[in-house]
Amino acid sequence: QVQLVQSGAEVKKPGASVKVSCKASGYTFTSYYMHWVRQAPGQGLEWMGIINPSGGSTSYAQKFQGRVTMTRDTSTSTVYMELSSLRSEDTAVYYCARGPYGSSSGFDYWGQGTLVTVSS
Amino acid sequence: QTVVTQEPSLTVSPGGTVTLTCASSTGAVTSGYYPNWFQQKPGQAPRALIYSTSNKHSWTPARFSGSLLGGKAALTLSGVQPEDEAEYYCLLYYGGALWVFGGGTKLTVL
């Protein structure tokens, strides 16, 4: 069965960076794009970007350009999302989600989420 | 700045029917926006319900359906159950791998 298992909660100081992992299993890792989505406390979902696990190409929402880096390790079927220059507004639950680049295929499986708290 | 708009809240009686909509600031939503719908309950990750306007996942209950309605994407729940009380989000595609979520609709079953 398809599973996306994310790394544990993080507490970071303003200005620091955080790297969240998402380990995939139960399917061919390089055959599906992976997205990152975040949700601030009490707020809605926000799409951050996408990575192609096959070639490593990425595309980021304009809001996060310059601060986010998405990478992958095909040997461990893991994608990573690193967010730098953290500020309090980055406190949120970060999710990985399997989904299409832009086609009729659907978003389907989600990770359990990783809480990132930014606090001095 | 592209904005996707959903009703902030809706209330429906058990057994009733309710339609949630999803509008784009760029104009009419068409099938080319590949509308996706998600359900999220408190403390849980979102769960995918509908993709590409009207396609259901294997786990999507039959009472959920998706469509295009009056220039918007729509999610209709028929025969609402108490367990359908949740937040619902739509997601639209804007080209160049850019996706944008709606603000969410809080559905109350009362």
Per residue in A99-110, pLDDT tens? 888 788 889 999
B34 SS3 class: coil
Model pLDDT, residue B97: 87
What are B63's strand-pairing partners?
A: none
Q: State chain A's mean pLDDT as an integer.
A: 96
Q: Which residue of A has its CA nearest to B37?
A: A107
Residues ≥6 apart with Cβ < 8 Å to B68: B29, B30, B31, B35, B53, B74
* Residues in chain B whose Cβ is within 8 Å of chain A: 34, 36, 38, 40, 45-48, 50-52, 55, 57, 87, 89, 91, 93, 95-104
Query: In this complex, do A97 and B46 lie within 8 Å of one another by their Cβ atoms?
Result: yes
CB A16 within 8 A of CB A82: no
Q: Is A1 exposed, middle or buried (0-12, 13-18, 19+ CB in 10 A)?
A: exposed
Query: In this complex, do A97 and B91 lie within 8 Å of one another by their Cβ atoms?
Result: no
Pairing relationship of beta strands A10-12 and A114-118 according to DSSP bridges? parallel
Chain segment B8-35, per-residue pLDDT in tens = 999 999 999 999 999 999 999 999 999 9
C-alpha distance from A25 to closest chain B C-alpha (Å): 18
Model pLDDT, residue A101: 83
Q: Which residue, among B99, B89, B70, B105, has the nearest Cα to A35 in the 3D structure?
A: B99
At B35, the amino acid letter reads P
Structure tokens at A36: 């990152």
Q: Is A58 exposed, middle or buried (0-12, 13-18, 19+ CB in 10 A)?
A: middle
CB A74 within 8 A of CB A31: no
Model pLDDT, residue A105: 87
A10 CA to centre of own chain: 14
Tokens 């160049």: give the residue.
B96
Find which of B7, B34, B54 to mutate to test the A interface (most A CBs within 10 Å of its CB): B34
Structure tokens at B76: 């209709």
Chain segment B56-101, per-residue pLDDT in tens = 999 999 999 999 999 999 999 999 999 999 999 999 999 988 999 9
Q: Which residues of A touch B5 (CB under 8 A)?
A: none
